[in-house]
Structure 1
Amino acid sequence: MKRPLTSQFALSSLFVKLMLSFLSVILLLASFNLFSHLYLSGKVYQEVVRQNEQSLKQTVEGYENHFRLTQNMILALTQSDTWTANLGILSHLKENRRYDIVNEVKSDLMTIYGNPFLHIENFILYFKGEDYVLEKEGLSSTEDMFGKYYYSQDYPADFWRSQTVGNQFLKVLPAASFTETTMNSTRALGRLMPVLVKAIPYEEVYGLVMLNPQRMEKAYGDAGKNPFYILDAQGRRLFSTTETALPALKDAASTSSHERIGDQYYFYEKGAQTGFTYIRVTEVAAIASGLRGMRLLLAVLLTAAVLVSLLFSFLFSFRLNQPLQRLVAALDRKSGSSPGKLSSVKEFAIIGDRLSSILEDNRFIQNDLEHKNSLVRQYAYTHKVKNIPLHASLSELDDALHSEQPYASILFKLSFTRPAEEPEQHTLALWQLIQRLFSGEESENVVLQPEQDLLLLLLFNPGPQSGILQVLGTLQELLAAEDSLFLTIAVSPVYSGETPFTDAYHSLSELLKERRLNGETQIIVEPRASSAKTFHLKVTYGEELHNLLQSGSEDAVFGWLDRQLEQLQSKDATAEDFRTFARGVAEQTGKTVMKLNLPELEAGLLSALSGEPFAAFHTADQYKIWLRELTSPVLAAIRSGSETRDPVISFVLEYLDKHYGEDINLNIVADKLNLTSGYLSSIFKEKTGINFSEYLNTLRIERAKELLMNIDLRIQDIALQVGYQNVNSFIRMFKRASGLTPGEYRKRAGGENQGLGSAAGEE
């Protein structure tokens, strides 16, 4: 029966209480908003001023940091001994004619103007004594530079001839417009702010840094929305975004202030480091207009919010009241009924169905959580094995790990003798077989897969090692009939609970390297006494292979390779040692290719070593075939090159190979051949494909890499031996060529000094 309308709107009814509650909240919020509007309207004006001051402060910090960064980078450059020496030489260029160091100085200049964050258009070196300049485009006379390429009415050539820095390090000059005049055209370079610096201490050599003030203003200012000025310590205008004259300010000498003059606000602040005064102008009308618009917008929003809130309060109250009234009516009608009949009521049927669904979902979630907990536990063990710290939220998993029980670990590595059609299915089936073989043991097992082809089995309370080996023997018999795949199985002793999983995993990884070269499943318990780790080829074998390759004889090279492989087999060498030997031959072949200047073969050698070329090798014959395919094209190219090699290029290459450690250059080698340096440079580039200096630097760096393998030699001594008189130049060239400093290269390559790979590396 429908409830009377008067009862629905009684004071004690839910609808009236909901409506009154909504109205109370609306009244409270409206009162608060009105009070906030009245109170804050007087404060907004001050807040706008404060925001302008804060914005100017950020702009000043940006400019000051920019000037400081520019000064620090230039100071770091001028403190370089190489820089000082080079500029000292160039300051007497007419006397010494040392044009060869111009490119090195240009490279140093590029470190400054090439930095996009410094907003530098150019870095010009002005040699006042000889009246010429050096910049990114090369050498120019002072008249040409400041009369054509960087011409400004404010800064003619005579202006720069009269300038001095004095005791200052940086001397910032007012911004001016510059143009470039070439042939019959004139190009505007825009406004630039010159900064004069002392380039070296004892010569009249100045650096002229051309800053782009427009880009600086976009980076640190407000993108030209308001007029902006920069004044130096004497009040002289260095830069402004407008040509409007600046009125006299009362407190311009203070650190930070603002004042109103007419219809404009002038906000200014002095830089702590430079002493420059930064001024920003804001229209008073713009601030007042913004305030009026804000007041009108707040009033409209407040009115709309109250009206909309009243409407929605009524609708929400009505919509909340109706379903509850129906539910109460349904409960009243069914109060005497049995619980089973409640399903005939639609609302209760829906609630019952939803509750049943929720319980079913809860059971599914519980089962899913149990499965995920097992995966998370394996995740925790994997992190323990690999020594990866657990996330703080998973730290409680440490208590669930068997950290105090004795355990043994087994590491399985899967390999294929030939490519499998479905390797993932083979791998999965094999891992399942291994788990079934150990599932019957009384000990608790944990199975981890640290890599795609690796399976780690942790056996807790495993009993004696002999039982584990017996199960593994069964696995080995099962796999004996398989000719397409084999396992390498490393078995640890039974550890106490105090031994970290990381140590056990590392020991097993080392045991895997004890595998012998065959396609059978092997069980490795401990290193053999005849391990090839004690087998080292002589360093002179690298020279022997190099000489054989130079001969171009396939019989000699192939015979030498076959003898080395037979020697490895007779020494019971591991598969890892065969891999090391093959890589050593490839590296020595690459060095021979470089020495003989056969760049067309370098890509093929790099491709041969990319990836894991030896992953599927399980016989010495496979290595024999691979090594012959590697060296055959090299031998053919050497034989072909020996018939057609240019005698001039042959002399240059042989001379550089013998004298690279001396102070040599293109002129010296050209004199040896009675040729001009220009002709020799062009013919060398034509025949070899690279410049003379590039080839010499590459040769020196390669020799340095070989010498770095000898840890008894200091880096300074190595630099001298390969022809670099300045160790800083050596370090810079080495890092440019290899991406590492000599010290970093020595550390990285120090652990690889075994087998022919290390022997060839020390050539």
Structure 2
Amino acid sequence: MKRPLTSQFALSGLFVKLMLSFLSVILLLASFNLFSHLYLSGKVYQEVVRQNEQSLKQTVEGYENHFRLTQNMILALTQSDTWTANLGILSHLKENRRYDILSEVKSDLMTLYGNPFMHIENFILYFKAEDYVLEKEGLSTAADMFGKYYYSGEYPADFWSGQTMDNQYLKVLPAASFTETTMSSTRALGRLMPVMIKAIPYEEVYGIVMLNPQRLEQAYGDAGKNPFYIMDAQDRLLFSTAETGLPALEYAVNTSAHERIGDKYYFYQKGAQTGFTYVRVTEVAAIASGLRGMRLLLAVLLAAAVLVSLLFSLLFSYRLNQPLQRLIAAFDRKSGSVPGKVSSVKEFAIIGDRLSSILENNRFIQNDLAHKNSLVRQYAYTHKVKNIPLNASLNELEDALHSERPYASILFKLSFTRLPEEPEKHTLALWQLIQRLFTGEESENVALQPEQDLLLLLLFDPGPQSAILQVLSTLQELLAEEHSLYLTIAVSPVYSGETPFTDAYHNLSELLKERRLNGETQIIVEPRASSAKAFHLKVTHGEELHNLLQSGSEEAVFGWLDRQLEQLQNKDAAAEDFRAFAAGVAEQTSKTVMKLNLPELEMGLVAALSGEPFAAFYSTQQYSEWLQELVTPVLAAVRSGSETRDPVISFVLEYLDKHYGEDINLNIVADKLNLTSGYLSSIFKEKTGINFSEYLNTLRIERAKELLVNIDLRIQDIALQVGYQNVNSFIRMFKRASGLTPGEYRKRVGGDNQGLGSASGEE
């Protein structure tokens, strides 16, 4: 039912109240603007002056910061022991003729004048005693440098030779015009501001920094719109952008102020650090023009604001009232009743009651949808990182992940030195801390957990890598006090959007292998000079360990193991190298056990290598104890077996070890012993726990593995050397024993002369 027109425009109706409210606001704003116009007419001058003073303040801060930064960078350079030693050598260059260090000193100088933000044209080292200079172009005499290459009438060569630093560290000289004169031409270098630097501790050596004052003015000034002056603490003019000089001003001490002289305003301020006075000149006409423009603008804005406010008040009141009337009618028809009055405006009371439940339901739905979208997005990124195809129904989401934005990735691996009672809680708390450091509620960065102990961050539009490393350094300092756990952090460079996430994850996983063996948090940005391939155990070392194990001497074997671990530590080997070395020792021990016919120990060796036994190791002591525990039963069995070895089995094992490359079988060996093949087979099975043919095949495959590391040998030749006349039979038996074909095994071990496929200290 349509509401009567009188009810819509009643005094308590929304339209009337909106209109009255708008008119009240318009009247209040118009009164305020009129008062502001009258009041600010007298304040515009102060505001314009304040703006000029603020502009000069920013300029002063820029110059002061630049001078401080220049001083700090040069001070950091002069405090280097290498720099001091090099200057000492160059101070007697004619005697020692150490020209080899010139490039190193020039490289140090380049860190200053090579920085475009420092606005340094050159850094000249002047050796007064030797009467020569060193700058970016090389060596030259002082006369050539200041008479030809950097000539100025204000600063001839005699001026520089007569300068002393005394107790000053830095001295700024007035800017002057410099030229470069050659045999054929003269080139203007522009105006430069020399800054003399004391080369501590050498009194006869000082540096001359040639600052470009024009570029400083462009960076920190107002681009030459108004004349600008810089004077030192003794009121000596250092630089100006105008040809006229300054009148006498009564400078306030350690503050900023201004004076009007004639038709100009002089704004000045003293630098807190340098004591320099900075002056900017503004024409009176410019301020008066700004004042007139401000008054006219205020008047126009006031008239426009009143007119537009009236029009929009009428329009908004009408447009807001009509839809609300229709909504109320619709709500009334649906509910069939009018709720109690909760506001003086009955329309708002009705709408508030109806919309409260709707908004509550909508809020619940949006939160639930946002949570599910976040989970789906994380699911999609995880599949992209691991290169797993998404379901066809998520193709649109996968297309959305193909962003062209640059990104960086960080992979964290958590390890415990002492496993806590509830490691899952500790892991979750640490991951949450890291995510808070790099991701926020509105951040588009993504955190993924590929494994229980891994966390991968994808940082989109990350900025420079140095900012990421600064945050990681803070995290590293926090974890330095936590001795029960540590992180290995691999940091990628900033990739373009074209680099797949899978490649970034693979590169980070490889960087994790560069971790050194200790219990501290490490940040790895790039592979180190030494890699895992530098510590592979040679075949000769494997034979040496085999011989030591056969001796049964704990002292010899333990000493050999400790020496290898010490070599790894001295060569700064990665933790991965220690793991590979320990696995190689275990593999060689297993071979020795098989050769010595000790089947009762083979299951123990298999159990020792199951479940990643080295995952929690972070010191050489842990590896030493584990390896000693591994070989101790073997050494005891060797000492015990040397007394009770069966002569028949000993003969068979020694014969096979020497003739495995020949075409031999059970009958041939039985004839050697004058035994029947059936009897020999049964006694061999009884004593060794393995069939004769199985033992022979296992022996041949192990010998083949040792030969496959030599990439110069063909697989056919290796098959013949280990006793297989048919290469296909060899390949079939090799795959049955190792799960890989000979070619696949050769690729895995890399053909780098690793006898055991494990890391150790290679000579």
Calculate the TM-score normalised by the size of structure 2.
Answer: 0.51
Letter in 2 for 1:695: Y
> Is 1:414 aligned with 2:420?
no
- Looking at structure 2, the residues matched to 650 and 700 of structure 1 have their Cα atoms a distance apart, in angstroms, of 18
CA deviation after TM superposition for structure 1 residue 654, in Å: 0.3
- Looking at structure 2, the residues matched to 362 and 753 of structure 1 have their Cα atoms a distance apart, in angstroms, of 68
CA contact (8 A) 2:586 2:630 kept: yes
- Looking at structure 2, the residues matched to 603 and 695 of structure 1 have their Cα atoms a distance apart, in angstroms, of 16
Specify the SS of the correspondent of 1:455.
Answer: strand
The within-5 A match list for 1:134-153 is none
Name the residue aligned to 1:573. 573
The within-5 A match list for 1:609-628 is 609-628=609-628
Specify the SS of the correspondent of 2:413.
Answer: strand
Name the residue aligned to 2:556. 556
CA contact (8 A) 1:411 1:508 kept: yes
Name the residue aligned to 2:694. 694
Name the residue aligned to 2:493. 493
- Looking at structure 2, the residues matched to 718 and 630 of structure 1 have their Cα atoms a distance apart, in angstroms, of 32
CA deviation after TM superposition for structure 1 residue 363, in Å: 5.2
Q: Which ranges in structure 2 are unaligned for 5 or more consecutive residues?
A: 1-331, 340-354
CA contact (8 A) 1:753 1:759 kept: no
The within-5 A match list for 1:347-386 is 364-386=364-386
Letter in 1 for 2:370: E
- Looking at structure 1, the residues matched to 463 and 523 of structure 2 have their Cα atoms a distance apart, in angstroms, of 19
CA contact (8 A) 2:709 2:755 kept: no
Specify the SS of the correspondent of 2:642.
Answer: helix
- 1:109-145 CA-to-partner distances (Å, cap 9, x unmatched) read xxxxxxxxxxxxxxxxxxxxxxxxxxxxxxxxxxxxx
CA deviation after TM superposition for structure 1 residue 508, in Å: 1.1
- 1:607-646 CA-to-partner distances (Å, cap 9, x unmatched) read 1111110111000000000000000001111111111101
Letter in 2 for 1:438: F
- 1:283-327 CA-to-partner distances (Å, cap 9, x unmatched) read xxxxxxxxxxxxxxxxxxxxxxxxxxxxxxxxxxxxxxxxxxxxx
Name the residue aligned to 1:460. 460
- Looking at structure 2, the residues matched to 755 and 516 of structure 1 have their Cα atoms a distance apart, in angstroms, of 24
CA contact (8 A) 2:706 2:755 kept: no
CA contact (8 A) 2:413 2:455 kept: yes
- Looking at structure 2, the residues matched to 337 and 593 of structure 1 have their Cα atoms a distance apart, in angstroms, of 88
CA shift in 2, pair 1:568/1:745, >3 Å? closer
Letter in 2 for 1:642: S
Letter in 1 for 2:448: L
Name the residue aligned to 2:587. 587
The within-5 A match list for 1:689-728 is 689-728=689-728
CA contact (8 A) 2:666 2:681 kept: yes
CA deviation after TM superposition for structure 1 residue 518, in Å: 0.5
> Is 1:513 aligned with 2:513?
yes
Name the residue aligned to 1:41. none
- 1:684-722 CA-to-partner distances (Å, cap 9, x unmatched) read 222222232232222223223333333433333222222
> Is 1:730 aligned with 2:730?
yes
CA deviation after TM superposition for structure 1 residue 366, in Å: 3.6
CA shift in 2, pair 1:338/1:659, >3 Å? closer
CA contact (8 A) 2:587 2:756 kept: no
CA deviation after TM superposition for structure 1 residue 526, in Å: 1.3
- Looking at structure 1, the residues matched to 405 and 484 of structure 2 have their Cα atoms a distance apart, in angstroms, of 38
CA contact (8 A) 1:531 1:572 kept: no
CA contact (8 A) 2:580 2:759 kept: no
- Looking at structure 1, the residues matched to 461 and 752 of structure 2 have their Cα atoms a distance apart, in angstroms, of 38
Structure 1, 686-695 or 675-684: larger mean CA deviation: 675-684
CA shift in 2, pair 1:614/1:728, >3 Å? same
> Is 1:685 aligned with 2:685?
yes
Letter in 2 for 1:522: Q
Name the residue aligned to 2:170. none
Letter in 1 for 2:594: M
- Looking at structure 2, the residues matched to 709 and 662 of structure 1 have their Cα atoms a distance apart, in angstroms, of 22
- 1:503-555 CA-to-partner distances (Å, cap 9, x unmatched) read 22111111111111100111111122234433344331111111111111111
Q: Which ranges in structure 1 are unaligned for 5 or more consecutive residues?
A: 1-333, 342-354
Name the residue aligned to 1:22. none
CA deviation after TM superposition for structure 1 residue 758, in Å: 4.9
Name the residue aligned to 2:324. none
CA contact (8 A) 1:580 1:755 kept: no
CA deviation after TM superposition for structure 1 residue 745, in Å: 4.2
CA contact (8 A) 2:537 2:581 kept: no
- Looking at structure 2, the residues matched to 336 and 750 of structure 1 have their Cα atoms a distance apart, in angstroms, of 78
CA shift in 2, pair 1:446/1:740, >3 Å? closer
Name the residue aligned to 1:673. 673
- Looking at structure 2, the residues matched to 623 and 336 of structure 1 have their Cα atoms a distance apart, in angstroms, of 78
CA contact (8 A) 1:386 1:502 kept: yes
The within-5 A match list for 1:164-563 is 338-340=336-338, 364-401=364-401, 403-439=403-439, 444-563=444-563
- 1:650-684 CA-to-partner distances (Å, cap 9, x unmatched) read 11100110001111122322232233334333332
- 1:453-478 CA-to-partner distances (Å, cap 9, x unmatched) read 11111222222222111111111111
Letter in 1 for 2:467: G
CA deviation after TM superposition for structure 1 residue 597, in Å: 1.2
CA contact (8 A) 1:541 1:759 kept: no
- Looking at structure 2, the residues matched to 413 and 533 of structure 1 have their Cα atoms a distance apart, in angstroms, of 22
- Looking at structure 1, the residues matched to 603 and 625 of structure 2 have their Cα atoms a distance apart, in angstroms, of 20
CA contact (8 A) 2:579 2:759 kept: no
CA shift in 2, pair 1:394/1:710, >3 Å? same
CA deviation after TM superposition for structure 1 residue 744, in Å: 4.4
Name the residue aligned to 1:632. 632
Calculate the TM-score normalised by the size of structure 1.
Answer: 0.51
CA contact (8 A) 2:546 2:592 kept: yes
Letter in 2 for 1:437: L
CA deviation after TM superposition for structure 1 residue 752, in Å: 9.4
CA shift in 2, pair 1:740/1:488, >3 Å? closer
Letter in 2 for 1:521: T
- Looking at structure 2, the residues matched to 615 and 542 of structure 1 have their Cα atoms a distance apart, in angstroms, of 24
Specify the SS of the correspondent of 2:447.
Answer: strand
Specify the SS of the correspondent of 2:446.
Answer: strand
- 1:66-99 CA-to-partner distances (Å, cap 9, x unmatched) read xxxxxxxxxxxxxxxxxxxxxxxxxxxxxxxxxx
Aligned length: 417
The within-5 A match list for 1:642-653 is 642-653=642-653
CA shift in 2, pair 1:578/1:340, >3 Å? same
- Looking at structure 2, the residues matched to 720 and 668 of structure 1 have their Cα atoms a distance apart, in angstroms, of 19
Say what the alpha-carbon RMSD is for the aligned residues. 3.2
> Is 1:601 aligned with 2:601?
yes
Letter in 2 for 1:570: N
CA contact (8 A) 1:409 1:504 kept: yes
CA contact (8 A) 1:437 1:471 kept: yes
CA contact (8 A) 1:408 1:492 kept: yes
- Looking at structure 1, the residues matched to 714 and 507 of structure 2 have their Cα atoms a distance apart, in angstroms, of 34
CA contact (8 A) 2:487 2:522 kept: yes
- 1:3-55 CA-to-partner distances (Å, cap 9, x unmatched) read xxxxxxxxxxxxxxxxxxxxxxxxxxxxxxxxxxxxxxxxxxxxxxxxxxxxx
CA shift in 2, pair 1:592/1:371, >3 Å? same
CA deviation after TM superposition for structure 1 residue 361, in Å: 6.1
CA deviation after TM superposition for structure 1 residue 495, in Å: 1.9
CA shift in 2, pair 1:489/1:573, >3 Å? same
Give percent identity, aligned residues only: 88
Letter in 2 for 1:424: E
CA contact (8 A) 2:581 2:759 kept: no
- Looking at structure 1, the residues matched to 619 and 759 of structure 2 have their Cα atoms a distance apart, in angstroms, of 24
- Looking at structure 2, the residues matched to 591 and 698 of structure 1 have their Cα atoms a distance apart, in angstroms, of 10
Specify the SS of the correspondent of 2:582.
Answer: helix
- Looking at structure 2, the residues matched to 569 and 756 of structure 1 have their Cα atoms a distance apart, in angstroms, of 20
CA deviation after TM superposition for structure 1 residue 387, in Å: 2.0
Specify the SS of the correspondent of 1:384.
Answer: helix
